[in-house]
Amino acid sequence: MDYFEPKTITEALSVLAKYGEHANVIAGGTDVMVDMKYKEEPGCLVNIKKIPGLDTIQENGASLQMGPLVTIRDIETSRLVRERLPLLWESCHQFASLQIRNTATIGGNICRASPSGETLAPLLALEAKAKLAFRDGEKTEAFISFFQGPGKTSLGSKGLLTEIEIPYPPKGSHGVYLKHAVRGAMDIAMVGVAVLITADAGNSSLQDVRIALGAVAPTPIRATKTEALLRGRSLTAALVKEAATLAASESSPITDQRSSAEYRGWIVEALTRRGLEQSWKAASGKEVV
Ligand SMILES: Cc1cc2nc3c(=O)[nH]c(=O)nc-3n(C[C@H](O)[C@H](O)[C@H](O)COP(=O)(O)OP(=O)(O)OC[C@H]3O[C@@H](n4cnc5c(N)ncnc54)[C@H](O)[C@@H]3O)c2cc1C
């Protein structure tokens, strides 16, 4: 196996172009090293950790720009993220053990494209974008189209994720990330639900609502029918129940070693209901009745 430590993005891209699908980028290595042990070794490893400038968190007007080498622990300990993007902060706080959080990067979590990846549902709800670099240029793409299937992204084997841009949610927004796993944060999510609501000026109805579901479809998804049902309405217990059932019907979970598909559907329903109730209470100070 060949091994490279490029010092620039251009250098990394030329190695990726040369080795094509036989190359594997490595960042924190918490997924790649496990794959190398239990699956197969790639023809070449491209360690991007020596490329400067990919590990910063910066505010840029009404959004936050994050390098792909920012670790999950960097996010968890960032006051800026905690104050401005609590939804993303919450998902990183519930991510694996401290040892893994210290090593795992947000770029690796995204590019792994596991439907259960902890940060993915929050990034969809926050309508974040990816900056991607290829040999023939750069492009910016919303994460909703970036994820194409388990382990598949629009990067293919020849591109690099170079930045994550996360717009701040509108004023009056409140969000929650709820994870269901057998061993809490120590386990990969069986279901993850991110809910972000924006209350109207009088705190009487939902001006906007975004719901993203993780681990219940081949990619993380937005529950768009549920969002449409709720937008502009006042939240009542009956509406929350209807929305939670609809969100479950928008998911298409599988049965695997972690859970049956049926159980995952029930959890989507329960977490959507809880997410709506909690974010409404945070936004308006009122319980849903
Ligand atoms: C014990 C354990 C517990 C875990 N618990 C969780 C959990 O609770 N929640 C969760 O979501 N995940 C969990 N994971 C999975 C893993 O830690 C995460 O997916 C992590 O964020 C991957 O980041 P990394 O930097 O280690 O990625 P790496 O392993 O280095 O890379 C992951 C993938 O992304 C690609 N890649 C990385 N960076 C880039 C880039 N900039 N451009 C293009 N491609 C890139 C690599 O080629 C590889 O395919 C766990 C893993 C372990 C071993």
Which residues, including other chains, have CB under 8 Å from residue 69's CB and lie 6 or more apart? 27, 48, 49, 51, 54, 55, 105, 107
Ligand 1 atom closest to residue 160's alpha carbon, by position in its atom list: 42
Whether residue 194 has pLDDT greater than 80: yes
Would you say the CB of residue 213 lies under 6 angstroms from ligand 1? no
Mean pLDDT of 239-256: 96
Inform me whether the pLDDT recorded for 200 exceeds 80. Answer: yes
CA 191, CA 129: separation in Å to the nearest integer?
Answer: 23
The string of pLDDT tens digits covering residues 57-84 is 999 999 999 999 999 999 999 999 999 9
Neighbours of 258 (CB within 10 A): 18
The pLDDT of residue 240 is 98
HEC sequence for the chain: CEEECCCCHHHHHHHHHHHHHHEEEECCCCCHHHHHHHCCCCCEEEEHHHCCCCCCEEEECCEEEECCCCEHHHHHCCHHHHHHCHHHHHHHHCCCCHHHHHHCEHHHHHHHCCCCCCCHHHHHHCCCEEEEEECCEEEEEEHHHHEEECCEECCCCCCEEEEEEEECCCCCEEEEEEEECCCHHHCCCCEEEEEEEEECCCCCCEEEEEEEEECCCCCCEECHHHHHHHCCCCCCHHHHHHHHHHHHHHCCCCCCCCCCHHHHHHHHHHHHHHHHHHHHHHHHCCCCC
The pLDDT confidence band at residue 40, using thresholds 50, 70 and 90, is confident
Residues 6+ apart with CB under 8 A from 224: 250
151 CA from centroid of ligand 1 (Å):
11
Average pLDDT value for residue range 167-186? 89
Task: Please tell me the predicted confidence (pLDDT) of residue 258.
Answer: 84
Residue % of the chain over a pLDDT of 90: 91
Residue 87 Cβ inside 6 Å of ligand 1? The answer reads no
Question: pLDDT confidence of 188, banded at 50, 70, 90?
Answer: confident
Q: Is the pLDDT of residue 229 over 70?
A: yes
State residue 171's pLDDT score.
87
| Distance of CA 83 from the midpoint of ligand 1 (Å) | 25
The average confidence (pLDDT) of the chain is 96
Q: What CA–CA distance (Å, rounded) separates 247 from 271?
A: 10
Closest approach atom of ligand 1 to CA 68: 41
Domains, the chain, ranges and CATH? 2-48+55-167 (3.30.465.10), 173-284 (3.30.390.50)
Which residue owns the Cα nearest ligand 1 atom 28? 29
pLDDT of residue 257: 85
Q: Is the CB of 29 under 6 A from ligand 1?
A: yes
Which residue, judged by its Cα, is nearest atom 49 of ligand 1?
112
The pLDDT of 176-197, averaged and rounded, is: 89
Question: What pLDDT digit, counting tens, does each position of 84-130 carry?
Answer: 999 999 999 999 999 999 999 999 999 999 999 999 999 999 999 99
- Check pocket membership of 122 for ligand 1, CB cut-off 6 A: no
Say what the pLDDT of residue 183 is: 76
Confidence of residue 185 (pLDDT cuts 50, 70, 90): low
Q: What does the angle CA 70 – CA 211 – CA 78 come to, to the nearest 5 degrees?
A: 25
The minimum-distance atom of ligand 1 relative to the CA of 54 is 41
